[in-house]
Protein backbone atom coordinates (compact mmCIF):
# COMPACT_ATOMS: atom_id res chain seq x y z
CA UNK A 1 0.00 0.00 0.00
CA UNK A 2 1.46 3.31 -0.96
CA UNK A 3 2.05 6.03 1.58
CA UNK A 4 -0.10 9.08 1.46
CA UNK A 5 0.92 12.48 2.69
CA UNK A 6 -1.64 15.16 3.25
CA UNK A 7 -0.56 18.62 4.26
CA UNK A 8 -3.02 20.55 6.32
CA UNK A 9 -2.60 24.12 7.39
CA UNK A 10 -4.98 25.82 9.68
CA UNK A 11 -4.92 28.31 12.48
CA UNK A 12 -4.98 27.22 16.07
CA UNK A 13 -7.58 29.63 17.28
CA UNK A 14 -6.60 31.87 20.14
CA UNK A 15 -8.60 35.07 20.28
CA UNK A 16 -9.80 35.34 16.72
CA UNK A 17 -11.94 32.74 15.00
CA UNK A 18 -10.98 34.25 11.67
CA UNK A 19 -9.40 31.68 9.36
CA UNK A 20 -7.12 32.56 6.55
CA UNK A 21 -8.46 31.49 3.18
CA UNK A 22 -5.61 33.02 1.28
CA UNK A 23 -4.17 30.19 -0.84
CA UNK A 24 -0.86 32.01 -1.02
CA UNK A 25 -0.57 32.06 2.76
CA UNK A 26 -1.64 28.43 2.91
CA UNK A 27 1.08 27.46 0.44
CA UNK A 28 3.58 29.40 2.47
CA UNK A 29 2.52 27.64 5.64
CA UNK A 30 2.61 24.31 3.83
CA UNK A 31 6.27 24.87 3.19
CA UNK A 32 6.11 25.77 -0.51
CA UNK A 33 9.03 27.94 -1.45
CA UNK A 34 8.22 31.46 -2.39
CA UNK A 35 10.11 32.57 -5.46
CA UNK A 36 13.20 34.38 -4.25
CA UNK A 37 13.67 35.98 -7.62
CA UNK A 38 11.79 36.22 -10.85
CA UNK A 39 13.81 35.83 -13.99
CA UNK A 40 11.00 37.04 -16.23
CA UNK A 41 10.69 40.65 -15.18
CA UNK A 42 11.15 43.29 -12.57
CA UNK A 43 7.52 44.16 -12.07
CA UNK A 44 6.54 40.63 -11.19
CA UNK A 45 9.50 40.37 -8.85
CA UNK A 46 8.44 43.56 -7.13
CA UNK A 47 4.91 42.31 -6.64
CA UNK A 48 6.11 39.01 -5.20
CA UNK A 49 8.67 40.68 -2.98
CA UNK A 50 6.07 43.08 -1.61
CA UNK A 51 3.67 40.24 -1.13
CA UNK A 52 6.28 38.23 0.74
CA UNK A 53 7.07 41.21 2.96
CA UNK A 54 3.39 41.71 3.73
CA UNK A 55 3.07 38.04 4.55
CA UNK A 56 6.09 38.16 6.80
CA UNK A 57 4.61 41.09 8.71
CA UNK A 58 1.30 39.33 8.95
CA UNK A 59 2.92 36.12 10.17
CA UNK A 60 4.79 38.10 12.82
CA UNK A 61 1.60 39.75 14.05
CA UNK A 62 -0.04 36.37 14.10
CA UNK A 63 2.78 35.01 16.22
CA UNK A 64 2.34 38.09 18.40
CA UNK A 65 -0.74 36.48 19.91
CA UNK A 66 -3.83 37.01 17.81
CA UNK A 67 -3.78 33.74 15.91
CA UNK A 68 -1.09 31.11 16.06
CA UNK A 69 -0.76 29.22 12.81
CA UNK A 70 -0.08 25.52 12.92
CA UNK A 71 1.13 23.41 10.06
CA UNK A 72 0.12 19.79 10.35
CA UNK A 73 1.09 16.99 7.99
CA UNK A 74 -0.52 13.55 7.99
CA UNK A 75 1.14 10.43 6.61
CA UNK A 76 -0.82 7.20 6.12
CA UNK A 77 0.78 3.83 5.34
CA UNK A 78 -0.04 0.13 5.38
CA UNK A 79 0.67 -2.18 8.34
CA UNK A 80 0.11 -5.94 8.85
CA UNK A 81 -2.26 -7.32 6.20
CA UNK A 82 -4.90 -4.60 6.03
CA UNK A 83 -4.31 -2.17 8.92
CA UNK A 84 -3.43 1.47 8.42
CA UNK A 85 -0.68 3.24 10.31
CA UNK A 86 -0.95 7.02 10.56
CA UNK A 87 1.50 9.69 11.71
CA UNK A 88 0.39 13.25 12.47
CA UNK A 89 3.22 15.79 12.53
CA UNK A 90 3.28 19.45 13.53
CA UNK A 91 6.15 21.22 11.80
CA UNK A 92 6.09 24.11 14.26
CA UNK A 93 6.52 22.03 17.41
CA UNK A 94 8.04 18.77 16.16
CA UNK A 95 5.19 16.80 17.73
CA UNK A 96 4.64 13.48 15.96
CA UNK A 97 1.65 11.37 16.95
CA UNK A 98 1.08 7.76 15.87
CA UNK A 99 -2.60 6.88 15.66
CA UNK A 100 -2.47 3.37 17.15
CA UNK A 101 0.62 1.21 16.83
CA UNK A 102 -0.35 -1.81 14.73
CA UNK A 103 3.20 -2.91 13.85
CA UNK A 104 6.61 -1.54 14.76
CA UNK A 105 8.61 -1.79 11.52
CA UNK A 106 6.27 0.11 9.15
CA UNK A 107 6.04 2.89 11.76
CA UNK A 108 9.85 3.02 12.05
CA UNK A 109 10.07 3.09 8.24
CA UNK A 110 7.61 5.99 8.04
CA UNK A 111 9.54 7.88 10.73
CA UNK A 112 12.80 7.32 8.87
CA UNK A 113 11.29 8.39 5.54
CA UNK A 114 9.97 11.63 7.01
CA UNK A 115 12.75 12.38 9.48
CA UNK A 116 10.15 12.83 12.23
CA UNK A 117 10.66 11.70 15.85
CA UNK A 118 7.76 9.95 17.53
CA UNK A 119 6.46 11.81 20.60
CA UNK A 120 2.97 10.38 21.26
CA UNK A 121 0.74 7.40 20.54
CA UNK A 122 -3.03 7.87 20.53
CA UNK A 123 -4.58 4.46 21.14
CA UNK A 124 -8.18 3.95 20.06
CA UNK A 125 -8.94 0.53 21.56
CA UNK A 126 -7.33 -2.52 23.10
CA UNK A 127 -7.22 -4.97 20.16
CA UNK A 128 -3.78 -6.44 19.54
CA UNK A 129 -3.56 -5.15 15.97
CA UNK A 130 -3.83 -1.59 17.34
CA UNK A 131 -1.50 -1.78 20.36
CA UNK A 132 1.09 -4.40 19.38
CA UNK A 133 3.97 -1.92 19.00
CA UNK A 134 3.14 0.33 21.98
CA UNK A 135 5.85 -1.00 24.28
CA UNK A 136 8.50 -1.47 21.59
CA UNK A 137 8.05 2.14 20.45
CA UNK A 138 8.06 3.37 24.05
CA UNK A 139 11.37 1.61 24.58
CA UNK A 140 12.88 3.41 21.56
CA UNK A 141 11.38 6.90 21.94
CA UNK A 142 10.24 9.21 24.73
CA UNK A 143 6.61 8.69 23.84
CA UNK A 144 3.52 9.41 25.86
CA UNK A 145 0.76 6.86 25.25
CA UNK A 146 -2.81 8.09 25.54
CA UNK A 147 -5.72 5.67 25.41
CA UNK A 148 -9.34 5.13 26.33
CA UNK A 149 -10.06 5.41 30.07
CA UNK A 150 -12.45 2.46 29.96
CA UNK A 151 -9.74 0.18 28.56
CA UNK A 152 -6.77 1.54 30.51
CA UNK A 153 -5.92 -1.87 31.98
CA UNK A 154 -5.67 -3.37 28.50
CA UNK A 155 -3.55 -0.71 26.78
CA UNK A 156 0.19 -1.56 27.06
CA UNK A 157 2.34 1.33 28.31
CA UNK A 158 -0.57 3.74 28.82
CA UNK A 159 0.38 7.06 30.48
CA UNK A 160 -2.77 9.17 30.15
CA UNK A 161 -6.44 8.39 29.59
CA UNK A 162 -9.06 9.95 27.34
CA UNK A 163 -12.84 9.84 27.58
CA UNK A 164 -15.58 11.21 25.36
CA UNK A 165 -15.92 14.97 25.73
CA UNK A 166 -12.29 15.50 26.73
CA UNK A 167 -10.28 18.07 24.81
CA UNK A 168 -6.65 17.00 25.01
CA UNK A 169 -3.49 18.95 24.37
CA UNK A 170 -1.22 16.43 22.66
CA UNK A 171 2.12 18.11 22.19
CA UNK A 172 0.34 21.35 21.25
CA UNK A 173 -2.20 19.70 18.92
CA UNK A 174 -5.81 20.00 20.04
CA UNK A 175 -7.53 16.61 20.08
CA UNK A 176 -11.16 15.97 20.94
CA UNK A 177 -11.98 12.50 22.27
CA UNK A 178 -15.31 11.01 21.20
CA UNK A 179 -16.72 7.87 22.83
CA UNK A 180 -17.49 5.33 20.12
CA UNK A 181 -18.31 2.01 21.85
CA UNK A 182 -19.72 -0.93 19.92
CA UNK A 183 -16.71 -2.67 18.38
CA UNK A 184 -15.23 -2.67 21.90
CA UNK A 185 -16.91 -1.16 24.94
CA UNK A 186 -14.33 1.55 25.48
CA UNK A 187 -13.24 2.58 21.99
CA UNK A 188 -12.48 6.27 21.60
CA UNK A 189 -12.21 8.14 18.28
CA UNK A 190 -10.01 11.20 18.01
CA UNK A 191 -10.93 14.40 16.17
CA UNK A 192 -8.34 17.10 15.41
CA UNK A 193 -10.36 20.20 14.47
CA UNK A 194 -7.32 22.22 13.37
CA UNK A 195 -6.30 19.44 10.97
CA UNK A 196 -9.92 18.70 10.00
CA UNK A 197 -9.17 15.03 10.58
CA UNK A 198 -11.06 12.23 12.32
CA UNK A 199 -9.35 9.01 13.39
CA UNK A 200 -12.17 6.52 13.87
CA UNK A 201 -10.13 3.28 13.88
CA UNK A 202 -12.57 0.33 14.01
CA UNK A 203 -15.73 2.31 14.84
CA UNK A 204 -16.37 3.83 11.41
CA UNK A 205 -14.96 2.56 8.12
CA UNK A 206 -15.51 3.95 4.65
CA UNK A 207 -18.91 2.53 3.61
CA UNK A 208 -18.91 0.36 6.74
CA UNK A 209 -18.49 0.16 10.49
CA UNK A 210 -16.71 -2.10 12.97
CA UNK A 211 -17.99 -5.52 13.91
CA UNK A 212 -19.95 -5.58 17.16
CA UNK A 213 -17.58 -7.70 19.24
CA UNK A 214 -18.46 -6.20 22.63
CA UNK A 215 -21.38 -3.81 22.16
CA UNK A 216 -24.70 -3.96 20.36
CA UNK A 217 -26.27 -2.25 17.36
CA UNK A 218 -28.03 0.47 19.38
CA UNK A 219 -24.75 1.38 21.08
CA UNK A 220 -22.85 1.56 17.78
CA UNK A 221 -25.64 3.58 16.13
CA UNK A 222 -25.33 6.13 18.99
CA UNK A 223 -21.55 6.18 18.48
CA UNK A 224 -21.78 6.77 14.75
CA UNK A 225 -24.28 9.59 15.21
CA UNK A 226 -21.64 11.38 17.30
CA UNK A 227 -19.16 11.05 14.42
CA UNK A 228 -21.81 12.04 11.86
CA UNK A 229 -22.24 15.35 13.70
CA UNK A 230 -18.73 16.46 12.68
CA UNK A 231 -18.31 18.83 9.70
CA UNK A 232 -18.57 17.47 6.14
CA UNK A 233 -15.05 18.60 5.26
CA UNK A 234 -13.53 16.42 7.99
CA UNK A 235 -11.21 13.80 6.50
CA UNK A 236 -11.91 10.31 7.83
CA UNK A 237 -9.00 7.97 8.62
CA UNK A 238 -9.79 4.37 9.61
CA UNK A 239 -8.06 1.36 11.14
CA UNK A 240 -8.40 -0.95 8.14
CA UNK A 241 -8.69 -1.07 4.36
CA UNK A 242 -12.09 -2.77 4.19
CA UNK A 243 -13.73 -0.41 1.71
CA UNK A 244 -13.99 -2.76 -1.30
CA UNK A 245 -15.96 -5.39 0.65
CA UNK A 246 -18.02 -2.70 2.35
CA UNK A 247 -18.79 -1.23 -1.08
CA UNK A 248 -20.21 -4.53 -2.38
CA UNK A 249 -22.58 -4.74 0.59
CA UNK A 250 -23.53 -1.04 0.43
CA UNK A 251 -24.43 -1.11 -3.28
CA UNK A 252 -26.49 -4.28 -2.78
CA UNK A 253 -28.50 -2.44 -0.12
CA UNK A 254 -28.77 0.89 -1.91
CA UNK A 255 -28.28 0.37 -5.68
CA UNK A 256 -30.05 3.60 -6.76
CA UNK A 257 -27.78 5.93 -4.74
CA UNK A 258 -25.81 7.95 -7.33
CA UNK A 259 -23.19 9.19 -4.84
CA UNK A 260 -22.63 5.59 -3.78
CA UNK A 261 -22.37 4.38 -7.39
CA UNK A 262 -19.67 6.98 -7.98
CA UNK A 263 -17.77 6.02 -4.81
CA UNK A 264 -17.95 2.30 -5.70
CA UNK A 265 -16.36 3.00 -9.10
CA UNK A 266 -13.66 5.10 -7.47
CA UNK A 267 -12.93 2.37 -4.91
CA UNK A 268 -12.61 -0.26 -7.64
CA UNK A 269 -10.23 1.97 -9.56
CA UNK A 270 -8.09 2.73 -6.51
CA UNK A 271 -7.82 -0.92 -5.49
CA UNK A 272 -6.84 -2.01 -9.02
CA UNK A 273 -4.06 0.57 -8.83
CA UNK A 274 -3.05 -0.69 -5.38
CA UNK A 275 -3.89 2.65 -3.78
CA UNK A 276 -5.66 3.20 -0.45
CA UNK A 277 -9.30 4.27 -0.48
CA UNK A 278 -8.74 6.48 2.55
CA UNK A 279 -8.88 9.15 3.74
CA UNK A 280 -12.30 10.19 2.51
CA UNK A 281 -14.41 13.18 3.46
CA UNK A 282 -17.07 12.67 6.07
CA UNK A 283 -19.46 14.54 3.79
CA UNK A 284 -19.18 11.78 1.18
CA UNK A 285 -19.57 9.10 3.85
CA UNK A 286 -22.77 10.74 5.09
CA UNK A 287 -24.22 10.35 1.58
CA UNK A 288 -22.93 6.84 0.86
CA UNK A 289 -22.30 4.83 4.05
CA UNK A 290 -25.48 2.88 4.93
CA UNK A 291 -24.42 2.71 8.59
CA UNK A 292 -24.59 6.52 8.79
CA UNK A 293 -28.04 6.55 7.14
CA UNK A 294 -30.06 4.16 9.31
CA UNK A 295 -32.56 6.99 9.97
CA UNK A 296 -32.75 8.12 6.32
CA UNK A 297 -36.24 7.38 4.85
CA UNK A 298 -34.69 6.48 1.46
CA UNK A 299 -32.37 3.91 3.01
CA UNK A 300 -35.15 2.56 5.23
CA UNK A 301 -37.26 2.11 2.09
CA UNK A 302 -34.36 0.39 0.30
CA UNK A 303 -34.17 -2.03 3.27
CA UNK A 304 -37.97 -2.51 3.24
CA UNK A 305 -38.02 -1.19 6.83
CA UNK A 306 -39.95 2.10 6.47
CA UNK A 307 -41.56 1.88 9.90
CA UNK A 308 -38.61 0.49 11.86
CA UNK A 309 -36.55 2.37 14.43
CA UNK A 310 -33.09 3.49 13.20
CA UNK A 311 -31.33 1.13 15.62
CA UNK A 312 -33.29 -1.79 14.13
CA UNK A 313 -32.39 -0.71 10.60
CA UNK A 314 -28.77 -0.37 11.69
CA UNK A 315 -28.83 -3.90 13.18
CA UNK A 316 -30.24 -5.27 9.91
CA UNK A 317 -27.49 -3.58 7.85
CA UNK A 318 -24.83 -4.93 10.24
CA UNK A 319 -26.31 -8.44 9.97
CA UNK A 320 -26.26 -8.23 6.18
CA UNK A 321 -22.65 -7.03 6.16
CA UNK A 322 -21.62 -9.88 8.52
CA UNK A 323 -22.60 -12.26 5.70
CA UNK A 324 -20.07 -10.84 3.20
ZN1 LIG B 1 -10.45 -3.72 16.58
Distance in Å, CA 277 to ligand 1 centroid: 19
With left for phi above 0 and alpha for psi between -120 and 50, is residue 4 left, alpha or beta?
beta
Distance in Å, CA 284 to ligand 1 centroid: 24
* Global model pTM greater than 0.85: no
Q: Which pLDDT value is given to residue 101?
A: 98
SS3 of residue 10 by DSSP: strand
Phi, psi (deg, nearest 5) at residue 281: -75, 145
Distance in Å, CA 113 to ligand 1 centroid: 27
Q: Which pLDDT value is given to residue 65?
A: 32
**Buried residues in 51-76 as b, exposed as e (16+ CB within 10 A):** eeeebeebeeebeeeebebbbbbbbb
Q: Which pLDDT value is given to residue 71?
A: 87
d(CA 26, CA 22): 6
Distance in Å, CA 244 to ligand 1 centroid: 18
CATH topology of domain 70-322: Metallo-beta-lactamase; Chain A (3.60.15)
Query: 52: annotated binding-site residue?
Result: no
Q: Which pLDDT value is given to residue 8?
A: 52
Q: Which residues contact 173 (CB under 8 A, 6 or more apart)?
A: 70, 72, 88, 90, 93, 95, 97, 192, 194, 195
Distance in Å, CA 208 to ligand 1 centroid: 14
Q: What is the mean pLDDT of each run of 10 residues along the chain (324 residues)?
A: 51 38 38 34 30 33 38 95 96 96 98 98 98 98 97 98 98 97 98 96 98 97 98 97 96 96 97 96 98 97 96 96 91
d(CA 14, CA 62): 10
Distance in Å, CA 125 to ligand 1 centroid: 7
Distance in Å, CA 150 to ligand 1 centroid: 15
d(CA 104, CA 79): 9
d(CA 275, CA 173): 28
With left for phi above 0 and alpha for psi between -120 and 50, is residue 222 left, alpha or beta?
alpha
77 bridge partner residues? 85
Distance in Å, CA 211 to ligand 1 centroid: 8
Q: Which pLDDT value is given to residue 57?
A: 33
Domain(s) of CATH 3.60.15.10: residues in the chain: 70-322
Query: 183: annotated binding-site residue?
Result: yes
Query: 126: annotated binding-site residue?
Result: no
Q: Which pLDDT value is given to residue 18?
A: 37
Amino acid sequence: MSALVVSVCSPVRRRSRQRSRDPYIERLQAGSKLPSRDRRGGERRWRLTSRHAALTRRAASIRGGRVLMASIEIRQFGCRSDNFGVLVHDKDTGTTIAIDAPEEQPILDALEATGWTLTHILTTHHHGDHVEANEALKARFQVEIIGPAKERDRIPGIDRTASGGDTLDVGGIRVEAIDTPGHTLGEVSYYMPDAKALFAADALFSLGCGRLFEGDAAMMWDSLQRLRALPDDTMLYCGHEYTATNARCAIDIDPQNLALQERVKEVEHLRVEGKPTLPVSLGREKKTNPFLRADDPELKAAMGMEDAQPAEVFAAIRKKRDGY
